[in-house]
Amino acid sequence: MERSPMVYYGWWVVLAGFLIALYVSGALFFGFTAFFEPIVAEFGWSYTQVSLVVALRGLEMGIFAPLAGYLVDRYGSRKLVLAGSAIVGLGFVLLGLTRSLAMFYGAFLLLAFGAGGCTSVVLMTAVARWFKRRIGKALGVMACGYGAGGLLIPLLVWSIDANGWRATLIFLGLLMWAMGIPLGFVIRENPDPEADGELEPPAHKAVLHPGHIQEHSEKGFRSSFSDRSFWALNLAEALRMMVLTAVVTHVMPYLSSIGFERGTAGLVAAAVPLASIAGRFGFGWLADVYQKRIVMMAAYAFMLAGLAAFTQAGSGWLLVVFLALFPPGFGGTMILRGAMLREHFGVGSFGKLLGITMGTASLGGMVGPPLAGWVFDTWGVYEPLWLIFCVTMGLGILIVSTIRPSA
């Protein structure tokens, strides 16, 4: 009789996803705030012009995320992670060689294209195919990598100050090739999507492969487009992403504008994703115990309350309130959108549906950063926009409340 492995292989997939998420989120999504002011200082570009690269990244992700969802359901996760890691590495190197605004935008588009192959849609789909009962916990552990990416921000600030922003970006590209490609080979498809970690899966269960899963789930995929709950989730996520991308892109420029030193602002920027880990674990656990719609509303409420405190971040204790609420809230939503899709529509079309949801959310993410840059360029302050975003999060809570509980 063949011996069962001591560690269920799905957890190795979770670990690989965790490490890739840590690097890409820390270097690209959360870490860009550390490059913001040095790039403005060298080229003399406006805050709006530099912020626009995040909108362009969102445009590329909005196009590629649904495509990635289709590709991962058809071909599996490994090929996309390998290709994405190679492209992200090249994008970082080209970004470090930037000589013009056009090249700056082009390198960021390439980065976004590659990130679509090795971040949320692909990694969450890979994990979702290995777990069913414990989907909330598994996604929570994997997605903690996005929060742990905050550990890179103080290192980025130090490297930029010591070696320059160009050398730092080139090194990030080289390290992406050295780390991301080997980790891509760890990811593989689950031969039994119903196993969920049992060491000896029942013999009567059929073995399914990515192509078969896609073939048997087309009806469910098509029916989701007439489901009001699916589009309510998409709209709420677009609003949330508009707020989130604006905050994480401008957190260091905002804090600098109200008197914080660059080193302190960098530590706060690092604390944002790190503090989100509590929400990824906590809300992931709650999603396995309580109604996911209610848990999602609570996560949105955390973000709203934290953002309200952020408007008065000059008061040190309110900055602590922001860090205690906003990051855990958005960390929880990262888990909950996948868990809600898995609950309502199953695993067969999970990649495509998550890709569409990510693409829709990216449309909101295109608006937030350049809007924040324009507000600062025009009025020299950020606070009025943060207050408007508080109202936006309140609207998101109302939209999530309309999602019907799964049968």
pTM of this prediction? 0.75
Task: Label residue 201 by pLDDT band (50, 70, 90).
Answer: very low
Question: How high is the pLDDT of residue 164?
Answer: 95
pLDDT tens-digit map of 41-87: 999 999 889 888 877 766 666 667 667 767 877 888 899 999 999 99
Domain coordinates in residue numbering, the chain: 9-189+224-401
Structure tokens at 160: 């930029």
Q: Which residues contact 307 (CB under 8 A, 6 or more apart)?
A: 243, 247, 322, 326, 386, 389, 390, 393
Question: How high is the pLDDT of residue 210?
Answer: 47
Distance CA 28, CA 30 (A): 6
For the domain covering 9-189+224-401, report its CATH number: 1.20.1250.20
Going from the C-alpha of 229 to that of each of 285, 353, 397, the distances in angstroms are 22, 12, 14
Give the amino acid at 269.
Answer: A
Q: State the burial class of residue 75 (Cβ atoms within 10 Å of its Cβ: 0-12, 13-18, 19+).
A: middle
Q: Which residues contact 92 (CB under 8 A, 6 or more apart)?
A: 27, 111, 169, 170, 172, 173, 176
pLDDT tens-digit map of 81-128: 999 999 999 999 999 999 999 999 999 888 888 887 887 778 888 888
Q: How far is CA 226 from the centre of its chain?
A: 26
Q: Which residues contact 334 (CB under 8 A, 6 or more apart)?
A: 120, 143, 146, 276, 280
Residue 199 has pLDDT above 50, yes or no: no
For residues 373-377, average pLDDT: 93
Question: How high is the pLDDT of residue 407?
Answer: 53
Which of 25, 23, 261, 43 has the alpha carbon at shortest distance from 165? 43
Helix axes 9-24, 120-128, angle to 10 degrees: 170
Q: Which residue has the tokens 């078969």?
A: 212
